[in-house]
Every structure is written in C-alpha cells, then in structure tokens.
Amino acid sequence: MNRNHAKVNVTFQHTPSPNFYFGIDKEGKLSELGWFLYPTFNFIVWQAQWFIYMRNLNAKLQKSATIINVFNDTVMQGEKGAVATVRLPEDLFSYDHLELDASLSCPGTKDETCAHWDHTVQLYVCCMHGSLYCNLELGRWITPFRRRIGRWLTDVSPLLPLLNTKQCTFTMKTVPWAMPWKPSLSLHFSKRSQSSSGYHSSLNPFKLLQLFTGGIFNINYNKKYHPIKFVVPSSTKKVELYAVITGHGSDENGCGEFCVTSHHFVINGIFNNTRTFDDAGTPFGCANKVLNGVVPNEHGTWLYGRNGWCDGQDVAPWRKDVTKQVNMAGINSIVYFGWFDGKDPNPKKNPGEITMYSYLVFYK
C-alpha cells in the first residue's frame, strides 16, 4: 500500500529474448558472444575486450621459446583427469623462465556443449617418484561456465625446480563429477636476464621450500600452523615468497568464495607479508578483469568478484621478494595465518575452504 492506503497492483513477467549472438574477432573470424544475463550493451563491450585480450595474448605467444606439448584437446573427466608423460628439453637446467599456455575447449563446437558451473582445475607434476617435489601443483585455473574460448599464459618460473628430471608426468584434473572438458597445454621454456645489484645477470630458481597448504576455513583453521625454521642455501642471491591461494564454499558470511580474506606470512617475527582479496563479493570484480583474461558472458554469476579467483581465468601466483627479510647466514622462521574480517574465521555452519600452495624460492 502507498501512504494514502490505496491498493497498488504489481505484476511480474518473464520476457524471453534471443540469446545467440556472434561477433567478428581481431583475426576476422566469427565468434560466439556468450550469454547476456540481462539487456545491456555491457556484454558486447566485455566480449570486445576479450578480442583485445586474445590479440595481446597471441602477440605474447609469438615470443621465442622452446615449446613442449603436453595435452592437445585431451578429454579431462573423472578421478583420473588427463595424464601425459613427456620428455623435457635436453638443456632443461639452462632455462630461467617457464610459462603455461593452457586452454579449455568442449566436446562440441558451440558454447552450449561446455560444462556447467565453475570448478577448480589443477595441474600436478611428478618427475622423480619418491621426491619431495612429486605431485605438487604447477598451475591452477577456474573453468568458465559454459564457454569454450578460454586461453591463458601463466608465468610459473619460480616452480622450475619441480622439473628435476628430463621426463615428467603431468596430471590435469577437476572434480570427478564435472562434465568433460578438453584442455590443451604446452610448456614454454625461455631464457631471460634479470637486473641484479646494478649489473645484468641471470638468476635461476634452484631450490624450493614447501611451506603451508590451506584447509577448512573455520575456528580451527589457524591452529594447525606452526613456524617453519629454515636456513638459506649458501649460494643464494635472492629469496622469494610464492603462493597460490583461492577460497571456495559458502558459510553465513559468504566464505570462502565471496568474502574478503587476508593471508599473512610472517618472516622472523617481524615482516608481515600480506595478501588480501578486496574484490571478493563486489558486483563487477571479475567483469572488470576481462582484459586480464576473465572469459566474458558466461552463465551464472561470473561478473562478481571472488576470493582470489574469477570464473574462466588462470589463478595468478602471488610473488614477493623477501631477500632483505631473511638472515643469509643464520636460522630463519616463517609462519602463516589466514583471517576473515581481521580475525580468525568462526562460521556457525557450512565452513568454506582455502586451497593453497606456498613456497620459498631460492635463486642463484
């Protein structure tokens, strides 16, 4: 009723609209535009931004590199996922740069044949069975909800020590109940110089110290973490913190998918290195990142910001140079904790989860 106590009648209706659109990309090829969630030209703009992203990506892919193919439209489904054993370059240990060129296609030729929902895809590698480096994560992506155009180039150079022999087995998988995807993956090895102490030199990652993994994001989350003591190898010139962190699930606070969390790595009790995902829960947190590789115009709520990830994008590693924070000649310590709203998480029901791999990387 309004202020005059008169009755107001409200009716709702669903007005169907055509939802198959196509455009012409930067190479003059026809391309589907995806799903328009509601009537606005923003969806056309986002697809145009994707065309720009792909043009820039293709330019990066032209750079000189030694390329090793791992998967080529290989079906990924079930507990096993996609598995391949490949031989790496003979001069493997001369490279200081590694990028993952990954794409996700679908069983058919149109978006409608693609898998539903947004699931985590992880790439594991094992080069030496029994090694501490066997079956650790090399890359992570989130599937696009019913779109087949995703392609990303992800710099994982600090993880080169995981490739510790010249023949390695790669496993790419998502949740076993998901509909099939057809990933393609190639490894791009190259040699790039870095500036160090005023002169031009090449620094190579030669050793990893595995740190902390995630878990159920509840009141007990931080209780399992204890300081790790370490000594810097004698030949080290640089030390880097490397972490890949994403939040999933939904408690009463939207954690871990849509809540803002912070992740703290404290070195020697003094230096607090913090990663905070401020975009989580924002209306266009992911839509605003199409130029950075977020697949546009997916089904579902792809537009919203997430806790460390977006639908249809690679998960970029967080890297922090911590050389000046460590004692090169003595014993060091590092400890981790994760917070929601500035304190330990304490959901009342349905706690979410943090998926995390973290390392210290030593360069020489």
- Between CA 250 and CA 245 the distance in angstroms is 16
Secondary structure (3-state) at 38: coil
Tokens read off for 183: 């990933």
What DSSP line would sit under 207-257, residue for residue?
Answer: EEEE----EEESTTGGGG---EEEE--TT-SEEEEEEEEEEE-B-TT-TBT
Is-above-0.85 flag for pTM? yes
Q: Is 277 left (phi over 0), alpha (psi -120 to 50) or beta?
A: beta
- pLDDT for position 202: 80
- pLDDT for position 195: 42
* Per-10-residue mean pLDDT, the chain, length 364: 73 73 90 91 97 98 97 98 97 95 96 96 96 96 97 98 96 97 98 54 90 98 98 97 98 97 98 97 98 97 98 98 97 98 96 98 97
Smallest CA-to-CA distance from 174 within 215, 249, 110, 117 is with 117
- Tell me the CA end-to-end span of the chain in Å, nearest whole number: 74
- Between CA 176 and CA 179 the distance in angstroms is 8
Is residue 217 packed enough to be buried (19+ CB in 10 Å), middle (13-18) or exposed (0-12)?
buried
- pLDDT for position 189: 97
Stated as kind and residue range, the H or E segment containing 99 is strand 97-105
- pLDDT for position 173: 98
